[in-house]
Amino acid sequence: MRYGFGIDLGGTTVKLAFFEENGTCLSKWEISTDKTDNGSRILSDIATSVTAYLEENQVCREDVLGIGIGVPGSVDLYGVVFNCINLGWGKKDVPRELGDLTGLPVACGNDATMAALGECWQGAGNENMIFVTLGTGVGGGIVCDGKIVAGVHGAGGEIGHIPLCPDDPIPCNCGKHGCAEQYLSATGIVRLAREALSLPHEASVLDSGELSAKRIFDAGREKDTLATAVLDRYFELMGRFLGTLCCTVDPDVIVLGGGVSKAGQILLDGALAPMQKYAFAPCRTTRLALATLGNDAGIYGTFKLALQKFG
């Protein structure tokens, strides 16, 4: 039996896991992400944790096929990071540096793409899928025939920046205007509600209290008129977005994850018909599903990447 590590490097914590090559997770733990000094100690902290695990559990290094690691930034085809603003990193050759520190082969990918690979392998997806994370922003990962579409500049699956409403005067965090994530993220749906509330409208439960994606979906379930109109607009834009993806890579299933996906069935029910309206006819049977691995998608995906490269 051979083994490997899956590591999900986030801005606050690093999730680490040790797997059997059949996908069984034997152990998982976290260490904190030390972002001081431009994140210069992050990789050595990870190497220390990996080495300690192998020693404590008397795992022979020859039985370890390698390490997969996901980082919150653009990663090129060779696993070299372009930049991770959250970590203070500029260009960084993670496979070489972490490989030198651990003596193990290392493969590196973008975190959203790794989560996609995790859902593909052990979650709600399959070998032809798109994973859409609807969180503070909108990220994604595309899997075709079981392989991730990383993109030449590490921007494969950066679907949150598809231009949906280019005439929008409000800029996206990325500097462009009208990106999908300006409407479809948790922040985006709150913005749509705020806009609706600023216009004349009948009394709504959203008139008072802090707005959140959860409250808007809850109000929609209760047939609140304003919330229903906001969700109609949200689903219309979601339909154009998902329809665009269907006309491009034509997946079997689109898996929705991230905080907004906790809305559950109402999200699937609301997005399906608009997606079918905007998809090209042969792909109108494309399925929509909710992610099932939650925060563990990254560790499964990174280990799977290591398996693909070194297994």
| Site of interaction with a copy of itself (CB under 8 A) | 74, 82, 128, 142, 144-145, 147, 149-163, 166, 174-176, 240, 243-252, 277-278, 280-283, 285-286
DSSP letters along the chain, please?
--EEEEEEE-SSEEEEEEEETTS-EEEEEEEE---HHHHTTHHHHHHHHHHHHHHHTT--GGGEEEEEEEESSEE-TTS-EEEBGGGTB-SB-HHHHHHHHHSS-EEEEEHHHHHHHHHHHHSS--SSEEEEEESSSEEEEEEETTEE---TTS-TT-GGGSBS-TT-SSBPTTS-BSBTHHHHSHHHHHHHHHHHHTS-----GGGSS---HHHHHHHHHTT-HHHHHHHHHHHHHHHHHHHHHHHHH--SEEEEESGGGGGTHHHHHHHHHHHHHHS-GGGTT-EEEE-SSGGGHHHHHHHHHHHHHH-
Nearer to a copy of itself, 65 or 75 (CB): 75
**Under a CB-based contact definition with an 8 Å cutoff, are residues 240 and 275 in contact?**
no
Nearer to a copy of itself, 162 or 219 (CB): 162
Minimum Å distance from CB 150 to a copy of itself? 8
Minimum Å distance from CB 15 to a copy of itself? 25
Minimum Å distance from CB 29 to a copy of itself? 32
Minimum Å distance from CB 201 to a copy of itself? 23
Nearer to a copy of itself, 97 or 127 (CB): 127
Nearer to a copy of itself, 52 or 85 (CB): 85
Nearer to a copy of itself, 117 or 227 (CB): 117
Structure tokens at 126: 């399959």
Minimum Å distance from CB 181 to a copy of itself? 11
Structure tokens at 145: 């025939």
28 pairs with which residues across the strands? Answer: 17
Minimum Å distance from CB 175 to a copy of itself? 7
Q: What is the dihedral of CA 135, 137, 142, 148, to 10 degrees?
A: -100
Nearer to a copy of itself, 134 or 150 (CB): 150
**Under a CB-based contact definition with an 8 Å cutoff, are residues 101 and 42 in contact?**
no
Nearer to a copy of itself, 26 or 77 (CB): 77
Minimum Å distance from CB 140 to a copy of itself? 9
Minimum Å distance from CB 275 to a copy of itself? 11
Nearer to a copy of itself, 121 or 278 (CB): 278
